[in-house]
Structure 1
Amino acid sequence: MKYKILETPDCDDAYELVHDALRKRATIVIFACCKVNYEGRALSQLNWGERIIMIKPDGAFLIHQEKKVEPVNWQPPKSKTRSYIKNDNLFLESHRRSPKELLTVEIRKIQFISYANIEDFEELEQAGYEKDMSDMIMEKPHMIEEGFTPTTREYSVEHGFIDILGKDKDNNLMVLELKARKAGVTAVKQLRRYLQDLENTDNDILRECKAQKKKIRGLLVAPSIMDDAQELLDEEGIEFVAIEPPRELKRDKKITLDAF
């Protein structure tokens, strides 16, 4: 199930939804009357009131009041969440190991609770660097490897746009996903999804590859890569190419390539 919503659920139903959502690594949103306690680098307490609670798949835990942009209480990514029932109320605990912190939310009346399995593989692009990386590679394709020939940019597939399509010196198809910052697991999953889209759709590119008995190579292009992302790349048989984005842009938006 992609998402689930319950209105004014009882404590047991709400607990089951949270338990299911945490297992599925889904994003959880709760509008409820709650009380919050924090123990860690300081101590704080927020008495009963209606608030929005959000728990993200990366472990981030946020509690929002009706005002201000920032959450009134929060725990960062990699925190661990657990839920339990006590005295007919639902409890949520978010633990952080280093530094040691504990955020406890007691919920006594839920207006609605929901979870959603969100698919979003894009990252915020700053200063146009990913487009400028693309321009740079189109101008100097040997940066990827000798014999690489780019053919198409922004090739549309079901779940988005492939940054660059091209061919290697042996005429194998190359699918490039560009990231201007250190690449994580999300970038690998995005490229994997694009490769699946390409291979599962009847198109001229795939037919040509099959007719010529050529391979489809996936390449993640970024300045560097996280360890867990490298492990997933190795599992998926996807390649990594380390390239720094252009660091300066000319006023006419052309790329400065002095560093290369």
Structure 2
Amino acid sequence: MGKIITFEKPSIEEVKELFKMAEKHGGVVTVFARCKVYYEGRAKSELGEGDRIIIVKPDGTFLVHQNKKREPVNWQPPGSIVSIEGNSIISIRRRPREKLEVELIDVYAVVVFLAEDYKELALTGSEAEMAKLIFENPEVIEEGFKPMFREKPIKHGIVDIMGVDKNGNIVILELKRRKADLHAVSQLKRYVDALKEEYGERVRGILVAPSLTEGAKKLLEKEGLEFRKLEPPKDKKKKNEKQRTLDFFNP
């Protein structure tokens, strides 16, 4: 069996077999098809007929791309359950309950890539480094802030940092290493609402990022959430290595 298996104009039965193969061997499936897309969860949406690229990864990630823009038009996160029912590829996210259905009208090709990749991306200026900076210097958030937990599991996800302010209020920090958008605000609000069920109104939510989109700023204000501007830390090791190289060539 090779690394890449390609079928052009497969039947729906062949599509099912390819998905089974990918599931068994941990492959990535890419489907090129004319389709309709339906979403049902925190809201409802429908995307009419068109040519799309559907990507399904071994961890349950499910992406639907159009022929424009960088971001998928619809997606489901890792941990979602993917199946094929009739002529549709269906992805179910359990908590919160979300369903994404792609109705296949005409399948042009299916590619299964049996990828092997065991390396982790080492990011400079990552959210992990932002968290480390905040624990070492909590005053970058505000005076009197005390971070207590990092990656704290709660009812609807995992909070980046959870702590208390000088008045004893619970403070949730959602960290973003790039410009924060509406999705980041919605994520923070879910966490705040979940903890308010346990702690009442003494819960604050703060989005921490280098900048905000205009839409995110308006939604933060509407929901009574806060923002702190914080740039991800730079990689001092690389900076020092670069300086030593300059010194070597400039004695």
Return the TM-score normalized by structure 2. 0.50
Q: Which is greater in Rg? A: 1
Return the TM-score normalized by structure 1. 0.48
